[in-house]
Copies of this chain bind each other. A is one copy, B any other.
């Protein structure tokens, strides 16, 4: 074993491995304020709904917006390819596992994105009186960005598996220049996904108004198995927060960071905030809503890639309404409902008045590993073993 082991192999932590420690004070719920402002949009709660076909339709964007969070519509999914996306979504939800990947590939190959539908969907959200945030890949941003502005979007997210400002290509002369794009856009631009301090810093310097953090750990993402790439979320957020603080010092501007991927329970959201996130983006918690376009299923947006599909479809069920998921009352105790109430309670319990104060709460590494005792207990609960 050599010294190089230490240099090359640094330990990184996932949200599953950490927990929050109460501080020296406790607050009443009336002392707590969990609102946040991201890219000019003031949100009652620090939660975005993921720009995924199984999560955000114009309808769920409206409902999520009404209940204090913001759903982001993916401008490259089925909503902008199909006049009647519900039929397509029903097909995806009902197909057998064996034919799933092929169906997804054909759905995306058959219909390209239609400008009229882009405009239509944005207006459908706008009409519900909530903020409109939409997303595209870097490849399509130059085209979809102005279209979104025209249709009335409030902010634009450029999202890619990995974004860095140094993108090199031999043949592709049409690379998005992020700094130019930000300047050209009359609405705030957000960008993702970064996992390191230095990339986050680079991105902030281009003029974006928020950086999304995370790669690989999402419930509907198999990037780590296919590519070997992944940075556990707790460490990724902590590193990005360092970039944000450094950029604040050098520029005076506070560019918020949004944790994106692998955030499943209200506990995960609370931990993300304590690691330094200004907000989170969540997919599977909303995919479980009765109103979710996925109709009880959740899948990743990487699937359509014809040559190298990533992103599995998982059955998540339909557990409650979007209202109940965000504001309760909860009829379960697994952290899947009343997300906003849980965040408020967590801040009150550990003694943080705002998300800013939450950034300084003590975190411990405390893996909830499966020990023999736990598997027994769990198995008994599940009725697997007889007593």
| CB-contact partner of A338 in B169, B308, B369, under 8 A | B308
Contacts of A351 in B (CB 8 A): 164, 166
Within 8 A of B (CB), among A326-349: 328-335, 338, 341-342, 345-346, 349
If the complex has contacts A222-B333, A342-B308, are A26 and B349 also in contact, measured as CB distance less than 8 A?
Answer: no
Given contacts A169-B31, A238-B2, A370-B370, contact A364 B22 (CB under 8 A): no
Give the distance in Å from the alpha carbon of A4 to the alpha carbon of B357 in the complex. Answer: 17
Question: What 0/1 pattern do residues 280 to 314 of A give for CB contact below 8 A with B?
Answer: 00000000000000000000000100111111101
Contact with B along A210-253 (1 / 0, CB 8 A): 00000110010010111111111011001100100000000000
Asked if residues A25 and B166 are in contact (CB atoms below 8 Å), the reply is: yes
**B-chain residues with CB within 8 Å of residue A317 when the two chains form the complex:** 387
A368 and B268 CA atoms in complex are apart in Å by 17
A150 at the A/B interface (Cβ < 8 Å)? no
CA distance A232 to B351 in the complex (A): 19
Q: List, in ascending order, chain B residues with CB within 8 A of A110's CB.
A: none
- Chain multiplicity (copies): 4
In the complex, whether A199 has a CB less than 8 A from a CB of chain B is yes
Contact of A231 among B2, B102, B227, B366 (CB under 8 A): B366
* Interface assignment of A94: CB less than 8 Å from any CB of chain B: no
Within 8 A of B (CB), among A1-58: 1-2, 4-5, 8-14, 16-28, 30-31
Q: Which chain A residues numbered 156 to 179 have a C-beta less than 8 Å away from chain B?
A: 161-164, 166-172
Q: In the complex, which residues of chain B have a beta carbon less than 8 angstroms from the beta carbon of A28?
A: 167-172
Interchain CB contact (< 8 A) of A230 among B19, B202, B228, B378: B19
Measured between alpha carbons, how far is A31 from B167 in the docked complex, in Å? 10
CB-contact partner of A215 in B22, B199, B369, B370, under 8 A: B22
**Complex interface: chain B residues within 8 A of A274 (CB):** 228
Closest CB of chain B to A97's CB: distance in Å?
Answer: 10
A22-B229 in contact (CB<8A): yes
A367 within 8 A of B: yes
Q: Is the CB of A368 within 8 A of B368?
A: no
Bound: A2/B21 CA distance, A = 14
Query: A193 CB to closest chain B CB, in angstroms?
Result: 9
User: Given the complex of chains A and B, what is the CA–CA distance between A346 and B18 in angstroms?
Assistant: 28
Chain B residues contacting A264 (CB-CB under 8 Å) are 373
> Does A271 lie at the interface of the complex (its beta carbon under 8 Å from any beta carbon of B)?
yes
